[in-house]
Amino acid sequence: MILDMQSLFSDNQAITATAVSTNVVDLGATEAPVNRAAPTNPVLIKDLGKGEPVPLLIQVTEDFDALTSLNISIEIDTVEAFSSATEVIEVEVVLADLVAGYQTPIIWVPTKVNERFMRLNYTVTGSNPTVGTITAGLCMGVQTNVTG
């Protein structure tokens, strides 16, 4: 799997409380379609999740402790400050699965990623962990090691 620093959300980010990803990915401004003065409907013009799947890796890189579960969601917004963030998808991962090497079942950017900025939000359920890290980002392909 190939990761690029410009498309990383988290690079071995320690999650010791509810937090957002260290980095925000700028997907670029919505452009006017060819031969049009301005976008007629931004939702129809840009949707990163439509068409050819865009691989997304969200992987635990250090075992977690203490918490009950970790909710990981993808959020989008038109501004980098995420003043009106929209959640696109969320997955709950229980403590037993939060071990190094675990990858979430979200391995593609979902449809409805149609705004300029994207980040991950990590919500801790139960006690705050003292250890546990995640690496996440857009990549060339997700290596799952699944056979058969």
Q: What is the CATH number of the domain that holds 23?
A: 2.60.120.1110
Q: Other CB atoms closer than 10 Å to residue 44's CB: what's the count?
A: 11
- When divided into structural domains, the chain yields a total of 1
Q: Looking at residues 17-36, what average pLDDT do you find?
A: 81
The pLDDT value given to residue 77:
94
Please check whether residue 144 lies inside any domain of the structure.
no
Q: How far is CA 87 from CA 3, 113, 141, in A?
A: 24, 9, 23
Please check whether residue 32 lies inside any domain of the structure.
no
Please check whether residue 37 lies inside any domain of the structure.
no
> 82-136: per-residue pLDDT in tens?
999 999 999 999 999 999 999 999 989 998 888 889 999 999 999 999 999 999 9
> 32-68: per-residue pLDDT in tens?
555 666 655 554 456 676 777 888 999 999 999 999 9
The pLDDT value given to residue 2:
74
Q: Looking at residues 13-17, what average pLDDT do you find?
A: 98
Query: What's 97's DSSP letter?
Result: G
Please check whether residue 114 lies inside any domain of the structure.
yes
Please check whether residue 43 lies inside any domain of the structure.
no
Domain of 14 in residue numbering reads as 3-27+48-139
